[in-house]
Amino acid sequence: MPATILIVEDEQAIREMICVTLRHAGFECQEAADANQAQIRILAAIPDMVLLDWMLPGTSGVDYARRLRQDKLTRHIPIIMLTARTQEEDKLKGLETGADDYVTKPFSTRELLARIKALLRRSAPQTADTAVEIGGLHLDPVTHRVRANGAKLALGPMEFRLLHFFMTHPERVHTRERILDSVWGGNVYVEERTVDVHIRRLRKTLEASGHDSLIQTVRGTGYRMSAQD
Ligand code: CA
């Protein structure tokens, strides 16, 4: 599945240049010219990463990064700040607001891609072979085993993938479209209600140990895995 990257940049030429580069490299690219547009896009579907320009009209990139970090829904999105500023102090300020990395303009597209890929590797644990555990629910992607409080659970392949996706992206609301993209992949035509069917099956399997409550329905939006109410 291609990672979706949202580029927030008011200079159209730079925005388009970056998007072309990203698409060439196999990413999905979404564009926003300011923080308001970015927020609308993010609420429609959480991207895998945000490239955020420091100097934006209205809400600055720094303030917007801070806002993304404060919101439970967007807290986990990796952010790379783009800036013309080279001062060390500014760099620190950018990282303090919650940006994960920092690229100074002018940058080569090769450098930007390298930074993006490195950050995605760090922040997309579902592609790694690391076991995950939430509230006594344990999933091992290598052995394909799931245990609830130590007891083995039998999951179908789609339920396993779905659970893996949720456990590696907790505390975020995922739209059905985003879940389809990530779990089923973008190539096949599957109806959105297919997601509901598999969520129901997954919850049923998790019922015995009470872990079904980890998968919350967010009315009008989608689903979220959370150990909190
Ligand atoms: Ca700008």
- Continuous segment of H or E residues that includes residue 102: strand 101-104
Structure confidence at residue 212 (pLDDT): 95
Alpha carbon distance 228, 30 (integer Å): 31
Alpha carbon distance 152, 202 (integer Å): 14
Residues 11 and 118 in one domain: yes
Residue where one domain finishes, among candidates 92, 123, 154: 123
Residues 114 and 77 in one domain: yes
56-102 pLDDT, tens digit each: 999 999 899 999 988 877 888 899 999 876 666 666 666 677 788 88
- Give the pLDDT band of residue 2 (cuts 50, 70, 90): confident
Residues 15 and 114 in one domain: yes
69 alpha carbon to ligand 1 midpoint, in Å?
A: 21
92-108 pLDDT, tens digit each: 666 677 788 888 888 88
Instruction: Provide the CATH number for the domain around residue 65.
Output: 3.40.50.2300
Residues 161 and 210 in one domain: yes
Query: How many structural domains does the chain have?
Result: 2
- Domain, as residue range, for 160: 132-225
56 alpha carbon to ligand 1 midpoint, in Å?
A: 5
Residues 87 and 136 in one domain: no
Residues 111 and 179 in one domain: no
10 alpha carbon to ligand 1 midpoint, in Å?
A: 5
Contact 151/199 with Cβ under 8 angstroms? no
Alpha carbon distance 75, 154 (integer Å): 32
